[in-house]
Structure 1
Amino acid sequence: MRWRRWALGLGVPLLAIGVFVALFRWDWLIPVVEAQASAKLGRKVTIEHLHVSLGRITTISAEGLRIGNPPGFEDAPPFAEVQRASLDLDVGAYIESSAIVIPSVTLERPQFEVLGKPDGSNNYSFDLGGGASTSGGLGPRVGALRLVEGGAHVAIAKLKSDFRVTASTEDVPDGEPRLVARAQGTYAAQPITAELRGGAILNLRDQERPWPIGLDLANGPTKVGLRGTVQDPLALAGADIRLDISGPDMALLAPLTGIAIPATTPFRVTGKLDYGDRAFRFSDVEGRLGSSDLNGRFSITPGGERPVLDADVYSRRVDLADLGGFVGTTPGRIGTPGQTAQQRQALVRSEANPRLLPTQPISIPRLRAADIHLRYRAASIQGKGMPFDSLNVTADIEDGNIRLHPVQFGVGRGRISGDFTLTPLENGAVRAKGELDLRRVDISRLLQAAGAGGAGTLGGVGRIDGIGRSVSELLGNANGELTLVTVGGNLSSLLVDLSGLQFGNALLSALGIPARTEIECLIADFGLQRGRLETRTLMLDTDSHVVTGGGVAGLGREILDLWLRTRSKTVTIGSLPAPIGIGGTFKNPSIMPELGELAARGAAAVGLGLIFPPLALLPTIQLGVGENNQCERLTRRAG
């Protein structure tokens, strides 16, 4: 009897437990799971069915999984819909070491709707109540990931994008399944196609088995290729990847990189891509930019208020025309390698433009899109009529403020250098301040660019302070000054180099100076007030003549109003001939004899002693060209 009572007392609870287990449905826990997931994601999460298969490796499956949208996107499809999501959880590993080990995850027909409105609101940003842990040991270890007929629709107004993505794992004969994803649609208002082929996703963190990756992407005319391996794809670490990028214009890279780049000539670069110190690094770069080679390294640090680009770049040979977009002009030349029909037409329009100075507005919002730190050097400079030998630039752009410190051109044994700052203003204009310094510039190198011989040294200093929305407007409102001094050289070659063969020869003829006259000293001193470059001193001393001049050049309208007068050293001052006038525009100057008002202005200038410069210029002359006995004698005579 006692045994029966004990059996009955134990049997009833066991029977009750058995009945409960037999009748238990995991679906009863769905409200709890939905509530926990919704609270964690800040979105409504719903599940149609829930299944759990208990064991050391426990399998959890959810059918009809949906993740809803945030307020403002109620009429759109759910952010995510998964027909069936299954994961295996290693319970034994958690009991033994508290490690979360997920040997496999399978998503069947997952579909995502990624949306962004013009006002910046989107349905893909989640507030998870704190950032993810930076400790790799606390995160889950994911093994196999299998996708079955996955897809996504991405439509983000600010990126001008609307494309669809398909993704799945693909079985390979005698190999492990590989990830394959394809995209097609529009991005940055350009057609986009992409195909990604990854390795087997049996273990995304297995450093003994680097994960292979291959990507081919075309966004409009820009082509991107990636080939290599990644040791830890989830942390973007241990990359050994070659990146190849090509296209007609680097400005088209802005939507892909987040960095605003001026218009350029056609380009192709290749290099090693990896990720470290929270930055994407592009190193061992080799490539071409139009007719120039391009080498060095780049790094982009995303996040923060703005992404940061740091670059150290050099060219063995560069054609400055390829960099024209950085100063607001049309880059390249007719016939630049890889040039598109549209770029050729832009160059033709640029040549036909009566304006010489760039009129394209400087885009401050684009400059504020990223902070940039650039060091660029070119060992040699090539190009038609190019007098420069080398180039060094250090540039920093922070919050749209640009510092060039310095920009330096090598010319023979001398240099032309400047330090400039450009500061954005509230009205969309830019304030530019800078100083220019010419030291022992080799005139023979200048003349070689024009196919002529010569000798001598050029020096000078200048400063500028102006405000404008373009280079043309900025100079048209600027204040400053410029002083130039030349000792030695050949006058005809210098004029041809500065103005072209036809105008240079015509000017020599109008001045009545022999074609091969040697320069003893040239001093030009200008003041700049509200865009009016006014001559304070202009004197040229040759072995047979003295030429003086004056007048104004309007930088805003690019109008010339100058006069020049020649005096032979064998003739007295009282027999000075009538001056000539130089009018027209910067791009199309003209020469005209003048017998009226211009002649009176020239005579008055002589009477005021402008044939010789003031002694105040002597320190500038000495600093600019070194030994210059000819100019020193002239300035002392003026005293």
Structure 2
Amino acid sequence: MANRRAWRWGLGLGLPLLALGLFVALFRWDWLIPLAEARASAALGRPVSIEHLHLDLGRTTTVTLEGLRIGNPPEFEAEPPFAEVPRVSLDLDAMALLRDRSLVIPTVRLDQPAVEMRSREDEKTNYAFNLGGDAASRPAVQGPQIGALLLRDGKVHTMLAGLRADFTVSLSTEEPPGEPPRLLANAEGRYADQPITAQLRGGAILNLRDPNQPWPIELTLANGPTRVALRGTLQDPLALRGADLRLDIEGPDMARLAPLTGVPIPPTPPFRVTGRLDYAEGAFRFEEVEGRLGRSDLNGRFAIIPGEDRPVLHADLHSRSVDLADLGGFIGAAPGRTDTPGVTPEQRRAVARAEASPRLLPTTPISIPRLRFADIHLRYRAAEIKGRAMPFDRMETVLDIEDGVIRLHPIRFGIGRGTLGGEFILEPREDGALHAKGEIELRRVDISRLMQAAGAGGAGTLGGVGRIETTGRSFSELLGRGDGALTVVTVGGNLSALLVDLSGLQFGNALLSALGIPARTEIECLIGDFALRRGTLSTRALLLDTESYVVTGGGELSLGREVLDLWLRTDSKRITIGSLPTPIGITGSFKSPQIRPAVGELAARAGAAAGLGVVFPPLALLPTIQLGVGENNQCEALTEKSRQRGR
């Protein structure tokens, strides 16, 4: 009986022990794969599969996954999987897990991870993860404490249709003795349809999340002919704060930076800028900027706020010296000059074509639709303007672009002690054209400075007002379709020689010789009043009153065709034997004007205008005489004389 009970007890204990032994002997960790796959798939919102799972139990337990695969969202099912990792192993501190349920992972190793990142023209991507709803609604979970992340032969292949990009990044870690593993990355392929190469040497990957551990970075990048270098440290890399970084960028054209920055920039001559890069309060900041743009220096600071709809660029820039030719791209002209240092053969040919063209005004369409991709707020000041025959001394502007609408308020050029300025609004139309409206003002412009730029001398000041409203695609088309008016008036002074050199022609000498005006004469009054209609600037009144002569003029300038059709007539204030006033004609193009005695219809128009009393300005000019230049008694006297003649 006792033996039977003992046998029963033995059988009762032996069978479970035998079953347990058989289970342990036959157990495979792979049996847990379905559970692990289900948990991972639910967390990532993607199908996750694992081929093999191994655990090496101990105080430090090693977990190994083989054949890990993370799939794509349904839209990318036909594409290669998002990620494949032949082998992942991690060391787990089992005692810490048993003691307080904390996850301490001294080491994670990824062997030959391969990632495929895709985006399509419709902006759908395979790398946007659904992590189970709004992050704010999920309970906070303390993440694992990871000591080191080691990569071997990693590859990230990226294809971004919208950026015309297809490149591969090779990733690995190096392990200097006694130091944390460092990240190494190399990229090669195409970006924005240009070849791209890049080399990155950084700190330990996991130090990215430690704000108390500065993360070193050394990056060199070449995208086509554009070169970028970034060196320094980030105090809080994941938040992009605490930066001590120097950024150097150089290339043949700032327009090539648009794919890298997301901000459209007009064409420029070769450039190089350096400055300090940072990120704070939701904005990337590029400060302490120093650089060159063609023959001009460029200094100041930028800030780019990514934004949900489009990025916003704030820039406060200044130049000690600027060549306005370097800024020609902003109005559709070929920027720079043929002898600008560093220009490419293509840029040199473009400038040469523009200089050889019979047209003076840029005809290249201004790419306004691209400006909708960013809002831009710019303040720019130039202390000195240099260039051949350039009357401007300084420049300042405030420019705002919001939803593609451009506001210049103001743009102002210093001329001696005076200014030429204006305020303009340019609004893009659906057909790609621009609607422009603006006001112009000349205030106490020094005639001496204008004449000096033209190789002559003079004195006095010039003032005036103008307005324009137009629609067009290029600078030439805008002026060639404009409506508006322009009125200018002087206060005293003198002219000497008017040696204006246009395209190698001593235009000023020929003009004075034809008019019969001495080389130096006192100006008593100069008034010009012009109407602009459909791109044709018509003379309503043009008068130059000197000590001994009165010069009147009329005619038209076609801004769209760049054609001159003007006449000038000189009348002596004193009757002299043989003094026969003969009108002269100014014809030809803006680049190649011609002077000759007026004949035929042009002479008839000049004689008829003189007979009608155009020698004196109309009464409508009286309010403009005092604009910005003070009173001119002689001009007012002439106006009064005109009033009396009209009674």
Residue of 377, 383, 389 corresponding to 1:385:
389
DSSP-derived class of the 1:252 partner: helix
Q: Distance in 1 between matches of 2:100 and 2:268?
A: 57
Deviates more, 1:484-493 or 1:78-87: 484-493
Shift of 1:288: 0.9
1:553 aligns with 557
Q: 1:631 to 1:74 in 2, by over 3 A?
A: same
DSSP-derived class of the 1:518 partner: strand
Q: Deviations over 1:109-147 (max 9, x none)?
A: 011222334444443333334465699996665542211
Q: Does 1:506 align with 2:510?
A: yes
Residue of 356, 373, 380 corresponding to 2:377:
373
2:50 aligns with 47
Q: Deviations over 1:87-122 (max 9, x none)?
A: 455677788888766544321101122233444444
DSSP-derived class of the 1:172 partner: coil
DSSP-derived class of the 1:281 partner: strand
Question: Retained in 1: the 8 A contact 2:459–2:495?
Answer: no
2:267 aligns with 263
Shift of 1:559: 1.6
DSSP-derived class of the 2:88 partner: strand
Q: 1:131 to 1:365 in 2, by over 3 A?
A: farther
2:409 aligns with 405
Q: Does 1:487 align with 2:491?
A: yes
DSSP-derived class of the 2:256 partner: helix
Q: Deviations over 1:30-69 (max 9, x none)?
A: 2233233334434322111123456786654321111223
Q: 1:458 to 1:100 in 2, by over 3 A?
A: farther
The count of corresponding residues between Structure 1 and Structure 2 is 638
Residue of 236, 242, 262 corresponding to 2:246:
242
Shift of 1:481: 1.0
Which residues of 2 match residues 342-353 of structure 1 at below 5 A? Answer: 342-353=346-357
Q: 1:19 to 1:586 in 2, by over 3 A?
A: same
2:641 aligns with 637
Q: Distance in 2 between matches of 1:616 and 1:538?
A: 13
Deviates more, 1:540-549 or 1:169-178: 169-178
Q: 1:436 to 1:92 in 2, by over 3 A?
A: farther
1:446 aligns with 450
Letter in 1 for 2:233: T
Letter in 2 for 1:49: H
Shift of 1:254: 0.8
Residue of 232, 245, 257 corresponding to 1:228:
232
Shift of 1:396: 0.8
Q: Which runs of 5+ in 1 are unaligned?
A: none
Question: Retained in 1: the 8 A contact 2:119–2:125?
Answer: yes
Q: Distance in 2 between matches of 1:593 and 1:96?
A: 107
Computing the radius of gyration from Cα coordinates, the structure with the larger value is: 2
Residue of 60, 64, 75 corresponding to 1:61:
64
Q: Distance in 2 between matches of 1:290 and 1:121?
A: 40
Letter in 2 for 1:421: I
Q: Distance in 1 between matches of 2:398 and 2:95?
A: 58
2:293 aligns with 289
Q: Distance in 2 between matches of 1:268 and 1:222?
A: 10
1:85 aligns with 88
Q: Does 1:468 align with 2:472?
A: yes
Which residues of 2 match residues 69-468 of structure 1 at below 5 A? Answer: 69-88=72-91, 102-130=105-133, 142-173=146-177, 175-201=179-205, 203-468=207-472
Q: Distance in 1 between matches of 2:542 and 2:97?
A: 88
Q: Does 1:521 align with 2:551?
A: no
Deviates more, 1:122-131 or 1:140-149: 122-131
Letter in 1 for 2:470: G
Q: 1:498 to 1:482 in 2, by over 3 A?
A: farther
Letter in 2 for 1:32: L
Question: Retained in 1: the 8 A contact 2:411–2:422?
Answer: yes
DSSP-derived class of the 2:628 partner: helix
Q: 1:270 to 1:132 in 2, by over 3 A?
A: farther
Letter in 1 for 2:400: D
Q: 1:353 to 1:145 in 2, by over 3 A?
A: same
Q: Deviations over 1:353-388 (max 9, x none)?
A: 111111111112311111111111111112222221
2:613 aligns with 609
2:600 aligns with 596
Deviates more, 1:285-294 or 1:232-241: 232-241
Q: Which runs of 5+ in 2 are unaligned?
A: none
Identity of aligned residues (%): 69
With structure 1 as the length reference, what TM-score do the two structures score?
Answer: 0.92
Shift of 1:426: 0.9
Q: Distance in 2 between matches of 1:451 and 1:139?
A: 75
Shift of 1:243: 0.3
Letter in 1 for 2:623: P
DSSP-derived class of the 1:305 partner: coil
Q: Does 1:27 align with 2:30?
A: yes
Residue of 627, 633, 640 corresponding to 1:623:
627
Question: Retained in 2: the 8 A contact 1:485–1:624?
Answer: no
With structure 2 as the length reference, what TM-score do the two structures score?
Answer: 0.91
DSSP-derived class of the 1:447 partner: helix
Deviates more, 1:429-438 or 1:299-308: 299-308
Shift of 1:429: 0.7
Question: Retained in 1: the 8 A contact 2:446–2:462?
Answer: yes
Question: Retained in 2: the 8 A contact 1:614–1:635?
Answer: yes
Deviates more, 1:394-403 or 1:148-157: 148-157
